[in-house]
Amino acid sequence: MSSTPCRITELWRHPVKSMGGESLESLELRPLGVHGDRLWALHDVERDTTISARRLPAVLGFFARFAAPPGPDAGPGRVPAVILTAPDGSEHHSDDPQIHSAVSARLDRDVRLIPLPDDPRAHRLSWRERMTSLTPGALARDLGIASDEKLPKVSDMNARALSTLTRNATPPGTFVDLCPVHIITETSVATIAAAMGVEHLDPRRFRPNLILAGDFGADGLPEARWPDATLDLGDARMRVVMRTVRCVVPSRAHVGLPVEAGLTRAVATTADRYLGVYADVIRSGRVRVGDSLTITPPSPPSAPRRLARRGRVLAFDSANRVAELLRRG
């Protein structure tokens, strides 16, 4: 076990997927992630799928807060009311039957504000959506990949998480993008800011749950080394699943933050298009701003595991080459 002089500096909960969230002094981590995080989302009526800011960036201009703190039983099928603040400052309560038309008018798209369902089948993508949103070209657009750039290597990602998203708009039981908890360090954000030539880059652009600060020496992207490590924070324990592949969302205008041109390219060139990490919760508990972090590196893989990983990498790298051929025609 190795301890590092690292601590939590900010905690964030996002009541509605892709909208601005709430800064908290403490939060509870559970198997499905941050308690109360992303319990609501917007549903695209025409496409019959959950909306992401990748496809509808105007959603980032809304701010969401709970009308009252979520109770201990809040979760799928038991979702407390939220209040949305539109870019013009108007407020809309989730109990108001007019909220759907009000939000649709501001987004110029027919949407419904929906609570997290308790039926896992509700997350399934339609065949039409799978055929149009999971193509190499669509992925390149979502990730802001130019024609002269390559797609991220699938072998760098978690196979279980990726398999889930070939069938579902979001992982069943949640409205998170890929994994329950998203973590980023101030050090990595500062590295990207330096690459862009700007003095400060707000970590909120990356929509993390936990923001960490610490002395990582010369390592400008410390969490990039954490996959498969165990993290102990406060009363909770997490296992890092994978690095977070970045799309165009951080460069978009957010609540209180303007468009940041050049951000997507800076992440691609400086961090190979990854920034931050996703983690699973393996022991529930409360974490607080100021809590320190203990990192336990993963055990060295056995020979059979190394062999299996080598075969997996070869297979996925071959898939990557096929995807690049299809994207470039």
What digits encode the pLDDT tens for the residues 59-114? Answer: 999 999 999 999 999 999 999 999 999 999 999 999 999 999 999 999 999 999 99
Q: What are the tokens at 158? A: 């978690």
Q: Is the dihedral of CA 252, 166, 128, 110 positive or negative?
A: negative
Tell me the pLDDT of the chain averaged across its residues.
87
DSSP 10-29: EEEE-SBTTSB-EEESEEEE
Phi and psi torsions of 223, nearest 5°: -70, -10
Given pLDDT bands bounded at 50, 70 and 90, which one contains residue 310? confident
Q: Measured between alpha carbons, how far is 203 from 10 in angstroms, rounded to an integer? A: 10
Q: When comparing pLDDT for 159 and 219, which is higher?
A: 219
Give 141-187 pLDDT, tens digit per residue: 666 676 666 777 666 777 777 777 677 778 888 899 889 999 999 99
Given pLDDT bands bounded at 50, 70 and 90, which one contains residue 119? confident
Q: Which among 264, 274, 213, 257 is positioned nearest to 20, based on CA atoms?
A: 257
Q: Which among 32, 36, 39, 35 is positioned nearest to 16, based on CA atoms?
A: 39
Given pLDDT bands bounded at 50, 70 and 90, which one contains residue 307? confident
Helices and strands in the chain: count of H runs, count of E runs: 7, 17
**pTM exceeding 0.95:** no
Local structure of residue 71 (DSSP, 8 states): P
Question: Does residue 3 surpass a pLDDT of 60?
Answer: no
Residues 6+ apart with CB under 8 A from 29: 35, 181, 236, 238, 281, 284, 285, 286, 287
**Strand, helix or coil for residue 176:** coil
Local structure of residue 257 (DSSP, 8 states): B
Per-residue confidence (pLDDT) for residue 147, from 0 to 100? 67
Per-residue confidence (pLDDT) for residue 29, from 0 to 100? 97
Strands (E), the chain: 2-13, 22-24, 26-30, 33-34, 40-44, 49-50, 63-66, 82-85, 91-93, 111-115, 181-185, 210-214, 230-233, 236-245, 274-283, 285-288, 292-296
Per-residue confidence (pLDDT) for residue 128, from 0 to 100? 73
Give 186-202 pLDDT, tens digit per residue: 999 999 999 999 999 99
Q: When comparing pLDDT for 122 and 240, which is higher?
A: 240
DSSP 199-250: S---GGGG--SEEEEE--TT-SSGGGG-TT-EEEETTEEEEEEEEEE--SGG
